Structure 1
Amino acid sequence: MAVNFVGITMGDPAGIGPEISLKAIDAKTEYQQYVLIYGSYDVLQYYHQRLQLTTQLVRIEKVQDFQPGKINVISVVDLAIGKDIEIGQVSPVAGDAAYQYIARAISDALKGDIRVVTTAPLNKEALHKGGHNFDGHTEIFATLTKTKSYTMMLWSEHMSVVHVSTHCSLREACDRATKARVLECVHLADKAMKQLGVETPRIAVAGLNPHSGEAGLFGREEIDEIIPAVQAAQQEGLDVDGPVPPDTVFLKAYNGVYDIVVAMYHDQGHIPMKMVAFDSGVNVTLGLPIIRTSVDHGTAFDIAGKGIAKADSMCYAVDLGKRFAEH
């Protein structure tokens, strides 16, 4: 049964991750049968008491010790609020702890102890101060699983997007929009949609430049790189359209013309997704040997510790991970 477990990494312990992790499991009784938390037990106990949750919190050493009907915690790093960290404050201790939760969960997933890793948000500044120089979750997962071909997907019931590039400058993003990388992302998008039950995914490839370059008047990236990638995918038999002008492609996807969009850079894909699915979007890392889903929001230090953080995105992330696992 262990392969059916979902492990939540509770994110930066100074942010809202501990709160939303607890709230999700407490609110949905079915989660109490297969979801556990990788984090710091004392931090979670603090929030458990503050939130007055009724589901019992238990500390376990390994996945095989899971106790159904309870909130199970593998305490990867022992630290306490007020002693080791302060709520809502960036610190190297919190950044390192957030990394250690992820590393343990990935290790367990690679061993087959859990099937899905669902991540609460981390803080990049704290992560770096803690000695881990990664751009974010995606790069941590790729490194620790030794994955070379991967991309970020944002999923929602309204539309889905994969990204040719994410955490880099806009100037660098233009250079990363190569034929090979665009085609790679088309393949990853096609596979992901099929895993979610779409038999023949309809894929749109967004242009990079205004009006997709207007036949070279506004840039040659479409002519030199993107169109050749689209043509190569079409020759393979994939249902791919593009480059579709970026100012209309997301509206078409929202209206059901496409199942997924290949965006050229971070903000091109993130802005429309957060407009239509800010509380229900899920971040997925495609191409990994394990399943990784995540909330699509940050640590929210400004509301951390106030008890008002919503667990909706966490629930969507757990549920989508389970869908991937079932396929």
Structure 2
Amino acid sequence: MEIQKTPVVAVTMGDPTGIGPEVIAKGLKEHMVGPEHTVIVGDPGVMRRAFDLVGLQLQIVPGTQPTNAADSIAVADIDLAGVTQIPIGKIDRLGGEAAARAIKLSAQLALSGQVDAIVSSPVNKTALNYAGYHYMDSTDFYTELAGKQSHILLIHGGNVNAFMVSTHVSLQHALELITVDRVLTTIEAAHATLTRLGSTHPRIGVVGVNPHMGENGILGREEIEILKPAMEAARARGIEVTELVPAESLVSWTQQGRVDGVVSMFHDQATTAMKPLGYSTFAIGLPFIRCAVGHGTAHDIAGTGAADPRIFVQTYQLASLLTKNGYLVGAHEHA
């Protein structure tokens, strides 16, 4: 009988002046994240400060491999002087550099096979830009480091899974990106990912583009000319695709059991509906498993002890589940 290996997860500390270090510390303290199978990628001093803030008695051991002990945790040092001197709650160039170094080191660990998955804590785009890293988001950063051109994003919250046809682009560009091939590729990625998450025969809904799903072409023809042909092509490949889903029902249809996941046409269509649930993201198409928390750095409450770790824990659990279920990374990529 094959013994299943517990996945090793690299957790980036995120922006050192935000809530990332604190939510990591709280997840560890509340025993919702196992230190023995985790490597934190960041600054040891910043993590020690976060541990002290929440009253976590955990030894920090330098290194890139887990300690395999419940009373200690490995921290892969980003080797950047002065990080602990940045005031907590301040957006700073050095904080952006620290977050970027954690991203780069975690990608190196994943690409070399030293870790099985990455969980990203929140970064601040302004700080990253101050430091010279001009990306729309950290997922684009990882995509470049992985040598890929694009990815498909899953937004996961509670039991709702939304797969994005486009993400951080203008609404005008998002509409241009809605093509039969792109929608079909996203449906296929949804089917593969939901299967790995435990759905035996996943049912996938496709969210309409226009109000009232176009009213049979009166309010727009994207549903007729693009979405329905993509849906039919997916059905021809053995994928169970339901009827079109109204955008306002994106969450409720999943909660009612009518679908197991939905394909969303653009960023705010999914995120606005799922924000109240608290969500995580998974970048499909990279050569490693990388999940991220769906909230920001919350500089206004950083260092106060008020940060909620539940989304971080959910993200960690999602990464672990994908790894344990043998997710085939790199299987789907947008053209």
TM-score tier by shorter-chain length is over 0.9
Where in structure 2 are the equivalents of 1:175-254 lying within 5 Å? 175-254=176-255
Distance (Å, rounded) in 2 between the aligned partners of 1:109 and 1:3: 15
Whether 1:155 aligns to 2:156 is: yes
Distance (Å, rounded) in 2 between the aligned partners of 1:271 and 1:159: 13
Counterpart secondary structure, 2:303 = coil
Partner residue in 2 for 1:257: 258
Distance (Å, rounded) in 1 between the aligned partners of 2:304 and 2:231: 48
Distance (Å, rounded) in 2 between the aligned partners of 1:180 and 1:297: 31
Where in structure 2 are the equivalents of 1:291-310 lying within 5 Å? 291-310=289-308
Distance (Å, rounded) in 1 between the aligned partners of 2:52 and 2:207: 48
Query: In 2 relative to 1, CA 3–130 (structure 1 residues): closer, same or farther, beyond 3 Å?
Result: farther
Counterpart secondary structure, 1:203 = strand
Cα deviation digits, residues 123-173 of structure 1 (max 9, x gap) = 111111211111112212211112345211111333111111111111221
**CA deviation after TM superposition for structure 1 residue 26, in Å:** 2.7
Cα deviation digits, residues 182-207 of structure 1 (max 9, x gap) = 11111111111011111111000001
**CA deviation after TM superposition for structure 1 residue 177, in Å:** 1.2
Structure 1 range deviating more: 74-83 or 17-26: 74-83
Distance (Å, rounded) in 2 between the aligned partners of 1:112 and 1:295: 23
Partner residue in 1 for 2:328: none
**CA deviation after TM superposition for structure 1 residue 243, in Å:** 2.9
TM-score by length of 2: 0.90
Where in structure 2 are the equivalents of 1:46-61 lying within 5 Å? 46-58=49-61, 60-61=62-63
Counterpart secondary structure, 1:293 = strand
Partner residue in 2 for 1:74: 76
Counterpart secondary structure, 2:119 = strand
% identical aligned pairs: 32
Partner residue in 1 for 2:324: 326
TM-score by length of 1: 0.92
Cα deviation digits, residues 198-254 of structure 1 (max 9, x gap) = 111100000111111112211122222212111111111110124322223432122
Query: In 2 relative to 1, CA 82–43 (structure 1 residues): closer, same or farther, beyond 3 Å?
Result: closer
Whether the 8 Å contact between 2:206 and 2:264 is mirrored in structure 1 is yes
Distance (Å, rounded) in 2 between the aligned partners of 1:29 and 1:231: 42
Aligned-partner residue type, residue 313 of structure 2:
C
Distance (Å, rounded) in 2 between the aligned partners of 1:29 and 1:86: 29
**CA deviation after TM superposition for structure 1 residue 308, in Å:** 1.5
Whether the 8 Å contact between 2:10 and 2:118 is mirrored in structure 1 is yes
Distance (Å, rounded) in 1 between the aligned partners of 2:289 and 2:186: 17
Cα deviation digits, residues 91-119 of structure 1 (max 9, x gap) = 22111211110111111111111001001
Aligned-partner residue type, residue 322 of structure 1:
S
Distance (Å, rounded) in 2 between the aligned partners of 1:82 and 1:8: 19
**CA deviation after TM superposition for structure 1 residue 67, in Å:** 5.2
Whether the 8 Å contact between 2:63 and 2:74 is mirrored in structure 1 is no
Partner residue in 2 for 1:266: 267
Task: Tell me the C-alpha RMSD between the 2 structures.
Answer: 1.9
Whether 1:115 aligns to 2:113 is: no
Partner residue in 2 for 1:171: 172
Structure 1 range deviating more: 26-35 or 218-227: 26-35
Distance (Å, rounded) in 1 between the aligned partners of 2:249 and 2:55: 47
**CA deviation after TM superposition for structure 1 residue 29, in Å:** 7.2
Query: In 2 relative to 1, CA 3–31 (structure 1 residues): closer, same or farther, beyond 3 Å?
Result: closer
Distance (Å, rounded) in 2 between the aligned partners of 1:142 and 1:66: 29
Whether the 8 Å contact between 1:166 and 1:266 is mirrored in structure 2 is yes
Gaps of 5+ in 2: 326-335
Whether the 8 Å contact between 1:43 and 1:79 is mirrored in structure 2 is no
Structure 1 range deviating more: 136-145 or 105-114: 136-145
Whether 1:39 aligns to 2:42 is: yes
**CA deviation after TM superposition for structure 1 residue 12, in Å:** 0.8
**CA deviation after TM superposition for structure 1 residue 274, in Å:** 1.6
Structure 1 range deviating more: 3-12 or 317-326: 3-12
Distance (Å, rounded) in 2 between the aligned partners of 1:164 and 1:10: 29
Counterpart secondary structure, 2:135 = coil
Distance (Å, rounded) in 1 between the aligned partners of 2:148 and 2:300: 34
Gaps of 5+ in 1: none
Where in structure 2 are the equivalents of 1:68-107 lying within 5 Å? 68-69=69-70, 70-80=72-82, 83=85, 85-107=86-108
1:317 to 300, 315, 318: 315
Aligned-partner residue type, residue 75 of structure 1:
D
Aligned-partner residue type, residue 272 of structure 2:
I
Distance (Å, rounded) in 2 between the aligned partners of 1:30 and 1:318: 7
Distance (Å, rounded) in 2 between the aligned partners of 1:212 and 1:297: 30
